[in-house]
Each structure stands twice: as structure tokens, then as C-alpha cells.
Structure 1
């Protein structure tokens, strides 16, 4: 299925590139205008090409999202939607509270303290 979506994605990409290159330039961004008139400059053709561009762009984005979801699903072994719900750690599910170190164990030793750095056994 991933190969089919990838092939459709590539076809849409090439189609989108071709349709964008066929359209007439209306801006004068670099001083290159669309020129005056011609067989390609009809308003109906521009409207049809712009609608086709939008259709191809939406289809391209949909296939991009589909490929992303398929790749993430294959990589983790679970669905992307399964990862949206928070899951409790395994220790809490077994009824055991999580082991949190005491506050004193987190602090560095005092400046004049010559005691070895060995954790206490309480």
C-alpha cells in the first residue's frame, strides 16, 4: 500500500510542477512580466489551471500526510492515534509505586564534607 501511495505522490508532484510552469506569470517579481496577450492568456484558461493547481496541491498534501502516517506506523509498530492517549508506566500498572529518590540524594555534598559519595540504604 505504501508503494501505491508513493507512486501516486510522485505523479502528483510532477503534475503539480507541470501545471505551475504552464500558468502565466502575473507578478513582476524580477521584472519579467507576463507580456501582453496571446493564446495562453485567456481568463478561462487561467481559472481552469488555477483550479487544477488547487486540486493537485490538496491531493499532494493528502498523500504526504498518508505517507507520514504509514511510515510512523511501520516504525513504531503501533498506530499514531495510539500514541495520543497517555499511558501509565509499567511499574504503576503492577501496583508498585514509582521509586523517587529522597530530596537529600539529589543535592551535591557540602563544601567541607569528606564523606564518600555512596548512596544511603534506608
Structure 2
């Protein structure tokens, strides 16, 4: 079931990218969706309405599939059996049981300072 939904999600994602790239943006963009480029298939306004509606539909399908896949796979990712790592923090590190001897400073040897 997850494989089918992932495949459908991939197809919706590719279609959404294609539809967004086809649209004419305010600054010109790719502008593939113009009426001259479509061979007078639809008017400029009709093309814009079709692309806008298809973008909204694909975006809705993308979001619903994303949420559905997230709910289906919750707890299955990470290989820790579905346990939350923040719910059960690891135990603290064991404290050394042997006493530590204090550091003994090295004896200072005073060498005679000779001046030439």
C-alpha cells in the first residue's frame, strides 16, 4: 500500500512541477502557457484558468498524500521499533569508582644563573 502511495505521490509531484513551470509568471517566466505557444488550443484566459485549477488540484493532492504517508509511516522510520528517543533518554554515564590521586607538582630545581 505504501509503495502504491509513494508512486502516486511521485507522479503528482512531477505533474505539479510541470504545471507550475508551464504557467506564465508576472515577470515572463518560461511563458510556455501562452495562447500562441499552444497553437490556439485555448485563449490566454482559458489557459490561465485551466493551469490555475490544475495547480490547485495537484497541490491539494500533494498535501493529502504527504499527510497520509506521514500518518501511515509514523514510528516506522529510524529502526528503533517506534520508540521516541526523547521520551526515554539514555541513562547517565557511570561515574568512576576509583579515587583519583591529586596531581603532585614537579619539584623545581633552581639552577645557578651564570652571567658572562
TM-score for both structures, normalised by structure 2: 0.52
2:26 maps to 26
Matches within 5 A, 1:47-66: 47-66=49-68
Given that 1:16 and 1:56 are in contact with CA atoms closer than 8 Å, whether structure 2 keeps it comes out as yes
- Count residues with an aligned counterpart: 96
Q: CA RMSD in A?
A: 4.1
The 4+ residue runs of structure 1 with deviation greater than 4 A are 73-78
* Structure 2: runs of 5+ lacking an equivalent: 83-116
Q: Distance in 2 between matches of 1:50 and 1:9?
A: 20
Give the SS at the match of 2:27. coil
2:47 maps to 45
Radius of gyration: which is bigger?
A: 2
Matches within 5 A, 1:1-122: 1-27=1-27, 38=36, 39=40, 42-69=44-71, 70-72=73-75
- Structure richer in helix, relative to its length: 1
Q: Distance in 2 between matches of 1:33 and 1:48?
A: 15
* Structure 1: runs of 5+ lacking an equivalent: 79-122
TM-score for both structures, normalised by structure 1: 0.50
Deviations 1:6-49 (A, max 9, x none): 000000000001111111122369xx989x97357710110111
Q: Distance in 2 between matches of 1:22 and 1:76?
A: 43
